[in-house]
Structure 1
Amino acid sequence: MNPPSTARTDLEAALGRYRCLFDQQVDDWDGFIETLLRPPPTWIWANPLRIDGSRLRALIAAEGIGAEPVPWLQPWWSSVARRLAGIGFEAAPEPAAASPIALRLPAGFKAGQRWWYCAGLAHAQEAVSQLPVMLLDVAPGQRVLDLCAAPGGKTAQLALALGNRGTLLANDFAVERIAALQGNLDRLGVLNCSTTRCDGGNYPAAAGAFDRILVDAPCSSEGTLRRNPSLVQPGGRGETGAGEGAGECVGIRAGSIDRRRVDRARAYAGIGPERSRRMAGRQRALLRKAVQLCRPGGRIVYSTCTFAPEENELIVADILDEHNGHLELLPCEVPGLVTGAGVTRWQGRQLDPSLARCLRLWPQANDTGGFFIAVLEKSTQASGVDDRAPVQPRHRHGFQLEADDDGWLRQLCDHYGLPASAWSNRRFHRQTRRGLHLVAADHCPPASPSPQGSGLFAYRTNIRPPKLTTGAALLLGAAATRQILELSGEQRDRYLRREPMRPDPEQIADCRPGQILVRHRGCTLGVAVLHRSGALESLFPSRWSGCTAGA
């Protein structure tokens, strides 16, 4: 069925200022608009710490859903899986290069409501949103900063690219955004990340220099219109100057833009040049700070999910000009992906030809959202944060255990039969009176800015009896040898909905009353309490309780 003509007219009015780009360097304006009027596919990736991509695909197929590989993402994900081989207890010991980690599912499929998503076996992330981390070229041993991290998909990618070892800092500006970020990192088993709460444009130099920095900047989000059509809604607060881009197009192709469309564009509050100009100051400050914090010879990726040159090429051009040859824009290519070149002329401003090296992802080309990526390399002769000055490590102030914490850990190991290998390359530390966190052994965040958290909150010791958190259960559950209950599909759903149940006596024959780990098809779901009566009480987090198979 064709979309309503009013929807198409509204969309063309709101985005009409980009018509000139299609006249000059991009194909298929009609296809662009038609693609934006269709809901996007659902994109996910298998967590290589937990599961092989082929096995995840089989779990999805068992639900009657086809999951297709994404070929142009596969080489990078295969390299990450090889890097992680043997680290995750549930990962395949020798990941096959052909195992499809990045997957495409039908439009409207709600991955977050599936049991395997709640178990941390997968994460939902738009396919083109996975490209910035791929192009950042992260390697183990590097010190990495994600300057605008929430909700955490790219942060998790960075953590995995580092082998879930070393030092990754994930920053955002709002408490609630950091909470969402930490929730995703815990579900996926990330141990090498500390979160910080700062205005990214003023991130303190005391944090030290970084080998790689990702600036996935806040933007007007035009590239997400397929998921967020409400961005184009008439009757909102008027945007001034909404026809300026259209005016330039008229100059190129006289009469190509109806004046009524320009007037209509002024009625959109969600998108438009005025909003883009308002975003630009913050974006420029973020990229400027990233260049300052980047180690000479290091790499920065700047990305947005908008089409607006004011938030993309013009930001990059300004920062290049400020650094007078000490910053190079690198060409980037993704084999198998149809990409567009960066804009080199906009609003009468002629940009350096090197801006064509930026990557533009137009929705109609690959059936994705819209995206922009620039890859920058800092000259080895450039100045910035003093790389010779030692960074004061956070662990000297807070990464330690208290006298009775060894007893808590012995109790944990005895209760679930956890082997000593469960702590390989990991260490516990106490951040709060609530309990113990688990972090990569070589993780070393700076003392400033003070982390909101480091690693994964693993074991609550301020309650009786103490309790393994759900995130830690997902991480360590596969190594447990005692207190394990395998659930059926119907029991799994009741557990995730926090509904009481009574397992069969055969299921609990090897479990004693108290806290137990529950699994489904060998995958840990979380913690429950087995009462002496034989009733099972779910301790699955209430904030996750919408995750039910087939919901």
Structure 2
Amino acid sequence: MSFSEDAGSPAEAVRTSGRSFRLVCAPGDRERVAALLAATGHLSEAEPFSPWCRRIAAEPTPLGSAMAARFGYIHIQDRSSMLPPLLLAPPPGARVLDMCAAPGGKTGFLAQLVGPAGFVIGNEPSPDRLATLRQTLSRESLANTATCSAADLSPHLPAGSFTHILLDPPCSGWGTLDKNPQAAKIWAGDKVAPLLALQRKLLETAAGLLAPGGRLLYSTCTTNVAENEDQTRFALDHLPLRAVPLAAPAGFVFEASRRGDVAGVLRVDSAASAAQGFYLALFEKTGGAAFDGGDGGLPGEVVPERAILAAGCDPAGLPPGAVRAFGDKVFFLHAGAAGLPPRFRYQGFPLGVFRSGVFRPQARARLLVGRDGPGLNEEALSRIEALLAGQSLPAGDLPARPGLYWRGLPLGFLTRKGARALWSDR
């Protein structure tokens, strides 16, 4: 049995051509980013379930090599994996935890949804995957985020400290067999038992960290009932959580729940939706006490604003928070991080280096470029492509770190050497 929110047949409800991706920008820049994509021949169509999400209609070169992707203005993502942040639906200003965050697509989408005043911390226990998570958030200029790495967060974070939690735990991945055909064999039979135990442990931790009335979205990319409906039943029977029925987003076809005593959950029909098989369940915390917010302090050495301004940067583009140095590395710490315990190890958003009283922004710190700062504002892409290929351009009377723009859209910082400007990620 399948159902869809859309009228008509399932075939009418779903567009099956083209890869899906998400725009990563301020709401007012969505059309400009779409134009940047179109400038490289990458034409797209809006998805019906979110104004942030699109599908490629024309892909003359791999989407990942498009200029918009290279500068972090889009995130390529399976359309099913866009649903957990959307269905958790944290409002602007929310305080959110993504418990198993790498590679960062869901974390980044959550950061967009909560806006500059909101705060998202992404936890990734695997050091290798943690590096990928941090690279994703940095490339996409999502400064209202922080990252951490803990196998068990419950000893480190206060109970009741998050209004919204996304738990997309390790799973058997049976919903991704088109891309990972070995998943069903790797996690066959009793081999899935360790995953089931880990998922229940993570559910227990999430319930403890959730504030009263807060919401928890549990999702997997598997079709396994034991990891889906059975875990939902466990959470309802043993944790201070109640079920919140999910409405079916437009553009997908969903299967019925595979347990009669589990309702209001969603199972993406992979073939009919042209997407990965996904399971989603939403809960609300009942009872408990909310965290009072902590002492409000932020660690690190203060980087004077005059040093930031002297570097030709515009700090007005940053969310609420503070710029701090740790050694010679500079990070932005969102105001939401002030509620984290003093001894809790986390990393803010990287901005550059601070040596001998001089701040130097990293090339991709586009939040510091400003909208009207001095720099090269290119109408065509050919000169930007030349810069990325290692060529230099005349600098004229530009400052030492001029901005690089495409039709007013900030891309990052150039480096001036003598009379020439060049692009350097170093």
Return the TM-score normalized by structure 2. 0.86
Sort the Cα spacing of 1:421 and 1:144 in 2 relative to 1 into closer, same or farther, 3 A. closer
Q: List gaps (5 residues or longer) in structure 1.
A: 1-24, 28-38, 75-100, 233-267, 345-352, 542-551
- The 2-side partners of 1:397 and 1:417 are apart by 22
1:104, CA displacement in angstroms?
A: 0.7
Find the counterpart in structure 1 of residue 230 from structure 2: 314
Find the counterpart in structure 2 of residue 492 from structure 1: 384
Where does 1:519-538 land on structure 2 (aligned, <5 Å)? 519-532=405-418, 534-538=419-423
- 2:178 is paired with a residue whose SS is coil
On the 8 A contact 2:164/2:210 being kept in 1, the answer is: yes
Find the counterpart in structure 2 of residue 433 from structure 1: 327
On the 8 A contact 2:377/2:407 being kept in 1, the answer is: no
Sort the Cα spacing of 1:331 and 1:206 in 2 relative to 1 into closer, same or farther, 3 A. closer
1:523, CA displacement in angstroms?
A: 2.8
1:216, CA displacement in angstroms?
A: 0.8
Find the counterpart in structure 2 of residue 131 from structure 1: 83
1:510 and 2:397 correspond: yes
- The 2-side partners of 1:201 and 1:459 are apart by 29
Find the counterpart in structure 2 of residue 121 from structure 1: 73
Higher strand residue share: 2
- The 1-side partners of 2:25 and 2:298 are apart by 33
- The 2-side partners of 1:467 and 1:445 are apart by 28
User: What is the CA deviation profile of residues 264-301 of structure 1, one whole-angstrom value per residue up to 9, with x for unaligned ones?
Assistant: xxxx6434333433311111111111112222222111
On the 8 A contact 2:323/2:332 being kept in 1, the answer is: yes
- The 2-side partners of 1:162 and 1:275 are apart by 38
- The 1-side partners of 2:87 and 2:34 are apart by 26
User: What is the CA deviation profile of residues 192-238 of structure 1, one whole-angstrom value per residue up to 9, with x for unaligned ones?
Assistant: 22212111464535364322111011112222233334x36xxxxxx
Q: Which amino acid aligns with 2:423?
A: S
Find the counterpart in structure 1 of residue 362 from structure 2: 469
On the 8 A contact 1:209/1:295 being kept in 2, the answer is: yes
Q: Which amino acid aligns with 1:376?
A: F
On the 8 A contact 2:69/2:75 being kept in 1, the answer is: yes
Return the TM-score normalized by structure 1. 0.68
- The 1-side partners of 2:50 and 2:245 are apart by 18
Find the counterpart in structure 2 of residue 413 from structure 1: 309
Find the counterpart in structure 2 of residue 58 from structure 1: 35
Q: List gaps (5 residues or longer) in structure 2.
A: 4-15
Find the counterpart in structure 2 of residue 88 from structure 1: none
On the 8 A contact 2:363/2:423 being kept in 1, the answer is: no
On the 8 A contact 1:72/1:334 being kept in 2, the answer is: no
Q: Which amino acid aligns with 1:306?
A: T
Find the counterpart in structure 2 of residue 331 from structure 1: 245
Sort the Cα spacing of 1:338 and 1:519 in 2 relative to 1 into closer, same or farther, 3 A. same
In terms of Rg, which structure is larger? 1
Find the counterpart in structure 2 of residue 460 from structure 1: 353
Where does 1:129-208 land on structure 2 (aligned, <5 Å)? 129-200=81-152, 202=154, 204-206=156-158, 208=160
Where does 1:347-426 land on structure 2 (aligned, <5 Å)? 353-379=260-286, 382-383=287-288, 386-387=289-290, 390-393=292-295, 396=297, 398=299, 401=302, 405-406=303-304, 409-416=305-312, 418=314, 421-422=316-317, 425-426=319-320
1:216 and 2:168 correspond: yes
Sort the Cα spacing of 1:63 and 1:191 in 2 relative to 1 into closer, same or farther, 3 A. closer
- The 2-side partners of 1:162 and 1:417 are apart by 25
Find the counterpart in structure 2 of residue 103 from structure 1: 54
1:145, CA displacement in angstroms?
A: 1.3
Q: How many residues align?
A: 412
- The 1-side partners of 2:339 and 2:210 are apart by 16
Sort the Cα spacing of 1:484 and 1:415 in 2 relative to 1 into closer, same or farther, 3 A. farther
Taking only the aligned residue pairs, the percentage that are identical comes to: 26
Find the counterpart in structure 1 of residue 25 from structure 2: 48
- The 1-side partners of 2:146 and 2:126 are apart by 15
Find the counterpart in structure 2 of residue 21 from structure 1: none
Find the counterpart in structure 2 of residue 250 from structure 1: none
On the 8 A contact 1:330/1:377 being kept in 2, the answer is: yes
Sort the Cα spacing of 1:61 and 1:480 in 2 relative to 1 into closer, same or farther, 3 A. closer
1:460, CA displacement in angstroms?
A: 0.8
1:358, CA displacement in angstroms?
A: 1.4
- The 1-side partners of 2:120 and 2:343 are apart by 13
1:479 and 2:371 correspond: yes
Q: Which amino acid aligns with 1:67?
A: S
- 2:49 is paired with a residue whose SS is coil
Sort the Cα spacing of 1:107 and 1:491 in 2 relative to 1 into closer, same or farther, 3 A. closer
Where does 1:193-342 land on structure 2 (aligned, <5 Å)? 193-200=145-152, 202=154, 204-206=156-158, 208-229=160-181, 231=182, 269-323=185-239, 326-336=240-250, 337-342=252-257
- The 2-side partners of 1:277 and 1:201 are apart by 22
